[in-house]
Amino acid sequence: MGGLGNHSLELTGLAGDPASPVHRLDPRAKILGLVAVTLVAVSTPLEAWPVFGACALVLACVATAGRVSGRDVWRRVRFLLPLVLLAALFLPFVRSGGRTYDLGPLTAHQAGLEVFGAVAIKATIGTVSAVLLGATTTFPTVLRGLEAMRVPRLLVMIAAFMYRYLFVIVEETGRMRAALAARAYRPRTALHAGALGRVSTAMFLRTYARGERVYHAMLARGYHGRMPQLAPLVLRRPDVLFVALVLAAILPLRVATGVGA
Amino acid sequence: MSCAIHAVELVYRYPNGHPALVGIDLHVRHGERVAVLGPNGAGKTTLMLHLNGLMTGSGALEVAGVDVGPKTLPELRRRVGLVFQDPDDQLFMPTVEEDVAFGPLNMGLEPDAARARVSEALGAVRMEAAAERAPHQLSMGERRRVAIATVLAMRPSLLVLDEPSANLDPRARRELLEVLTRIDRTMLVTTHDLPLAAELCERAVILARGRVVADGACREILGNEELLRANDLELPAGFDLDRVALRPRPAAVIEALRTPPLAAPAGFSS
């Protein structure tokens, strides 16, 4: 059934020292602090580059305090960042202005490159923030934080079930792929994709039936429309201090460099 | 509190008209352990879902002292613990602790009391160390035991288990059997695992095509080869029923079983 570690989803777990002060912070403090870093970075124009420096410094401090190694951060960032950057890749070639650089059939423009650079920096800071949140906070804890921050319960519940059953579905998909491969299924042309369609249908039906069984299991234990909470979150002094420090490190600098992106 | 089941002429048809239960008559005494045997499609799971009011057919049904009906559902679900066949259906919360606390919190317990129930229930299935873990990090046997803890935490008087030993390796099965032996509740166990039934239950019921076709001492039923064959059941090859002892029951249960059988309550003239 696959324990932890031999999973394709192992990168979703904690990294660093689970007993570190960062790991032990209230999830709301981490969500607030790291979202603040992301928002400040996104709203900063390229000319105000010291703000990016401050954001990077904050992230480096969080990683160090949580004993999350650069390698751990990189292993997670490298999956996310290319997806984020893909959208910005065409910018140097369509946004004209300034000097031009000939790259064979394509021409890159100075202005476009600058915008691309700004987007890349912002995307990196945002991605590393998210990765650090994920590396220092378990997903269920993030969800509890979001719920305590008044994110609609229904959305939090959907995310919670998605997280719980993602692993089950990944395992099921793996078994189906093995079953296809065991009967010499090696798609070569688009015509062979039909089998994959049927696999998706089977997956959908299985998931749907499971949904019904899970709902039965919930009713059987007295579910009546509200997810019960075991431990209400309590904000403590270190949590407040963390948010204050993060904001103190980036906000004054951001305000000093003016408004507008 | 009565933990008995009294079912009289229980009938259920699926929405497509296919009959699942065709007049079930079943009376279970407080403290009894009853194995519900039968081939796939015999109606075992449907019967199980009826005991918790998740499906409602026609006929009379009283479970754990509660007349099954829309008004009694919360009380019924508090008294009847249902353990589903696939623990992945039963364990839907992100962590084991939250999952085991789900039932007690729904019953209106305060978080502290619920947490006490969690450690009590996880202790009963020897899974105390797993409280903080996520269900997908557990082995199949561990998931099954946690699934049992999720209903034990509600302190039900009747425990209903659907195929508890399915998909378990021999060691996990043995551990499960040890855990089940120590639970002093009335128990209804649907299973294809006849040796498990022989070790755990003193009584067996065979269900076929939505009907009770045999009801008696587990040993007698399992020893009746013809009866088993007629209902697509069989003991493992070479299995010697005489070499398997029924596991001893907790003292409280033995005491309860000494009392004479409960008379069917008024309205249950069968």
Q: What is the pLDDT of residues A177-190, one digit of tens each?
A: 888 888 877 777 77
Chain B CB contacts of A228 below 8 Å? 101-102, 105-106
Mutation for A interface: B77, B82, B92, most A CBs within 10 A? B92
**In this predicted structure, what is the pLDDT of residue A41?**
93
Burial of A33 (0-12, 13-18, 19+ CB in 10 A): buried
Report residue B258's pLDDT band, with 50, 70 and 90 as the boundaries.
Answer: low
Interface list for chain B against chain A, based on CB atoms closer than 8 Å: 49, 52, 54, 74, 77-78, 82, 84, 86, 88-95, 97-98, 101-103, 105-107, 111, 114-115, 134-140, 150-151, 154
Report residue B267's pLDDT band, with 50, 70 and 90 as the boundaries.
Answer: very low
What radius of gyration do chain A's Cα atoms show?
A: 23
Q: Kindly state the average pLDDT of the residues B255-260.
A: 56
**In this predicted structure, what is the pLDDT of residue B268?**
46
pLDDT of B216 strictly over 50: yes
Structural domains of chain B, ranges and CATH numbers in brackets: 5-258 (3.40.50.300)
Chain B CB contacts of A4 below 8 Å? 137
**In this predicted structure, what is the pLDDT of residue A51?**
92
Nearest to A222 among B54, B74, B98 (CB): B74
Nearest to A214 among B92, B137, B150 (CB): B92
**In this predicted structure, what is the pLDDT of residue A259?**
58
Out of A17-26, B89-98, B146-155, B255-264, which region has the weakest mean confidence (pLDDT)?
Answer: B255-264
pLDDT, tens digit only, all 261 positions of chain A: 333 334 445 556 788 888 899 999 999 999 999 999 999 999 988 888 899 999 999 999 999 999 999 999 998 888 888 887 887 888 888 877 778 888 777 888 888 888 888 889 999 999 999 999 999 998 888 988 998 898 988 898 888 888 888 888 888 888 888 888 888 777 777 777 777 788 888 888 888 888 889 999 999 999 987 778 887 788 899 999 999 999 999 999 888 886 554
Give residue A99's region: left, alpha or beta (phi > 0; psi -120 to 50).
beta
Interface list for chain A against chain B, based on CB atoms closer than 8 Å: 1, 3-4, 7, 138-140, 143, 160-161, 163-165, 167-168, 210, 213-214, 216-224, 228-232
Q: Which two tokens stand for residue A84?
A: 């984020």
| Smallest CA–CA distance from A139 into chain B, residue | B94
Asked if B54's CB is within 8 angstroms of A220's CB, the reply is yes
Helix axes A237-256, A49-65, angle to 10 degrees: 160
Report residue B230's pLDDT band, with 50, 70 and 90 as the boundaries.
Answer: very high
pLDDT of B106 strictly over 50: yes
Tracing tokens 């519940």 back to the chain, one arrives at: A157
Query: Does ipTM exceed 0.90?
Result: no
Chain A CB contacts of B115 below 8 Å? 230
Nearest to A140 among B77, B94, B139 (CB): B94
Name the strands in the sheet holding B211-217, side by side, starting at the edge strand that comes first in the sequence. Answer: B80-83, B158-162, B186-190, B33-37, B203-208, B211-217
Report residue B253's pLDDT band, with 50, 70 and 90 as the boundaries.
Answer: low
Report residue B252's pLDDT band, with 50, 70 and 90 as the boundaries.
Answer: low
In total, the C-beta contacts within 8 angstroms joining chain A to chain B are 89
Chain A CB contacts of B49 below 8 Å? 216
Which one is predicted more confidently, B151 or A9? Answer: B151
pLDDT of B249 strictly over 80: no
Q: Kindly state the average pLDDT of the residues B58-62.
A: 92
Residues whose CB is less than 8 angstroms from the CB of residue A94 and which lie 6 or more positions away in sequence, other chains included: A112
**In this predicted structure, what is the pLDDT of residue B261?**
46
User: Residue B22 in 3-state DSSP?
Assistant: strand
Chain A CB contacts of B84 below 8 Å? 213, 216-217, 220
Q: Kindly state the average pLDDT of the residues B223-244.
A: 90
Chain A CB contacts of B78 below 8 Å? 222
Listed residue (B107, B49, B113, B50) closest to A221, CA to CA: B107
- Mean pLDDT for chain B overall: 88
Chain B CB contacts of A1 below 8 Å? 139-140
| Smallest CA–CA distance from B106 into chain A, residue | A222
Asked if A221's CB is within 8 angstroms of B77's CB, the reply is yes
pLDDT of B200 strictly over 70: yes
